[in-house]
Amino acid sequence: MGTHADVAGRPPGDAKVRAMPVDGDVLRSWRRARRWDVPEMARQLRRVADGHVPVHDALVRMIRRWESAGLRTERYELLYAAALATSPDQLCRGPANGDVSHTAGSDRASSPLSEAVDLGTWLAATNAGEGIISYLAATARRLAEDYTRQPPLTVLHDGFQAQRRVASLLRGGRQRLAQTRDLCLIGAEVYAFLALLCSDVGQYPAAEAYGHVGWICAEESGSSLAGALVLSAQAKTAQWRRRYAAAAAKARQGHEMCPPAGARVLLACQEANAAQALGDTDRAGEALARAQVAAGHGTPDPDDDGTTAWSCPPAREANYAAIVNLGAGQLERSLSEAGRADEAWASGCPWVYGTWAQVRIGAAIAHVRNGEAEGAAGEIAPVLSLPAEYRVVTLTDRLLYVNQLLRGPRYRNNPAAANLTAAIAEFCGSSLRTKAITAAAMS
């Protein structure tokens, strides 16, 4: 079995021996300038050597010997330079502001104290100051607000940028414990948002992956609110993948663990939506009732103005009620709920394009099922004027369902139905599903 000759003081392989060693005090000053203890210095050397060095404990002993007697091995001199991100010449001179006043003997005498100080320095060091954490937290909130206002692919790009920043910091592993929890909380919110938006553009496998990572972050953060937001995003993905039982279960779980009123209302509405898709009208009605209770008695979120991805103001809650009644065949009650949404907007409820479009499409479906193609056209006409960058899959897929109804025998040779079908087909031809796939392929 081969051995590493460096353990005995000789270079491995054909490594050369320097005539003059790199001074041990200089090596120590480099290490301290980086705020590394000796074990960390060993890990850094192993990193740049890609593992082709002695085992960790042996390398730690070698470093201690080099810091006492100097380093004569050219191979390790190059590894030191690489690990410290400097040149071999600068390595010999020491760091610009390094303290090389300690003698080898005094360092050995104070080794336990020195290592304790090194450990304290290492624990206090961080790659994530309070400023960057506050910035990322504000970014997560802004993304949730931009979701209802900005073009989806633009916001998705911003979400990817935030995700990369959070992931880079967490993978760096140089935060204090409280900072790591804060970053996990922010990560949970960002990943929940990405899952939500990926569902909107029809990228369901990506949505499920982001939801999975978001849940891990939420658990690590210990935040029930973050967990509830992730579950809301996962419920939406499951709903659009027609996994209604899973959608209902996740929404119910999130509702039970979530304190703020807006998100609790949303989660109860999501459960109602999934329950009606399963044909469980009793459960759907009970969930809608819980949504109304949460709206009236829940703990309000001071940062929720009713226009974030996780808000559920009266108009959005009415839209979910309209969908549930539509699924139950209660067409007049569904139209009544659409009217309630319109009244809420007229009374000052925040207007969000996605909710407004869903209300119009739901009312159109009720008209079509009532045999009123002209009424459906009147509801859908304003939706068809939405710019292409807002044509999310959650709208276009429901419009395609309207077309499916209009192609039935009931509307054969009906000019209004034919015109509406053609207009919907043209609108859906610019669905963000295709654009999102193209953008992903080019990135």
Confidence class for position 8, pLDDT limits 50, 70, 90: very low
Residue 75 is predicted with a pLDDT of 84
Higher pLDDT, 431 or 99: 431
Please determine, for residue 74, whether its predicted confidence score (pLDDT) is greater than 90: no
Percent of the chain topping pLDDT 70: 85
pLDDT at 407: 93
For position 436, what pLDDT does the model report?
57
Token pair, residue 91, equals 């390595």
Mean pLDDT of 50-67: 87
CA distances from 120 to 12, 37, 117, 433 (A): 35, 10, 5, 51
**Counting runs of H as helices and runs of E as strands, what totals does the chain give?**
22, 2
pLDDT beyond 60 at 121: yes
Task: Quote the pTM value.
Answer: 0.72
Q: How far from each other are the two terminal CA atoms of the chain, in whole angstroms?
A: 48
Banded pLDDT at 130 (limits 50, 70, 90): confident
pLDDT surpassing 50 at residue 67: yes
92 or 260, greater pLDDT: 92
Task: Look up residue 340 and give its two tokens.
Answer: 């309630």
Rounded to whole angstroms, the Cα distance separating 208 from 106 reads 58
Banded pLDDT at 104 (limits 50, 70, 90): very low
d(CA 131, CA 98): 28
Judge contact between 376 and 364, C-beta under 8 A.
Answer: yes
Average pLDDT, whole number, for the chain?
Answer: 86
Q: Is the pLDDT of residue 97 over 80?
A: no
Q: What does the pLDDT average to over 52-70?
A: 89
Residues 6+ apart with CB under 8 A from 171: none
Helix (H, G, I), strand (E, B) or coil at 34: coil
Least confident of 2-11, 28-37, 342-351, 420-429: 2-11
Tell whether the model's pLDDT for residue 100 goes beyond 90. no
Reference 312, options 346, 352, 276; nearest CA is 352
Angle at which helices 130-146 and 177-200 cross, to 10°? 20
pLDDT at 170 over 60: yes
Mean pLDDT of 269-282: 96
For residue 337, the model assigns a pLDDT of 97
94 compared with 190, residue with greater pLDDT: 190
Q: Are 276 and 317 in contact (CB under 8 A)?
A: no
Q: Look at residue 198 and tell me whether its pLDDT is greater than 90.
A: yes
The pLDDT confidence band at residue 125, using thresholds 50, 70 and 90, is low
Among 201, 183, 266, CA closest to 433:
201
pLDDT at 320 over 70: yes
Pairwise CA distance, residues 400 & 225, whole Å? 35
Per-residue pLDDT reduced to its tens digit, 152-161? 999 999 999 9
Looking at residues 328-351, what average pLDDT do you find? 96
Mean pLDDT, rounded, for 424-430: 93
| Cα dihedral value 376, 381, 387, 388, nearest 10 | 50
**For the residues 41-47, what does the mean pLDDT come to?**
89
pLDDT at 35: 86
Banded model confidence at residue 56, pLDDT cuts 50, 70, 90: confident
For residue 27, pLDDT beyond 80: yes
